[in-house]
Amino acid sequence: MEKSVKEYVHELITYDDSRASAPYEHCTTAVLGAGLLLCALRAHGRGRAVLHATLAGMLLARAAAGTDGLRKWADAPRP
């Protein structure tokens, strides 16, 4: 029986939560996301702007997520 996409995503999240973060992983991701957001504002064409903004949103969400993201910065406990 094949695994569903949901099961693969669950395994990926479980793995990501169990590993130690690389040094400055979330800060680097946030800077890259902000850079792509600026690229989206300056893009020549609507398609490129949407692509850059989508990738920027994904990177910024990744920077905020996880044990070393906003939770660590705000000293918030894990749920």
pLDDT of the chain, 79 residues: tens digit per residue: 678 888 888 888 788 778 887 788 888 899 999 999 999 999 999 999 999 999 999 999 888 876 677 777 777 666 5
Where are the chain's structural domains?
23-79
d(CA 34, CA 29): 9
d(CA 21, CA 28): 12
Q: Is 0.75 surpassed by the pTM of this model?
A: no
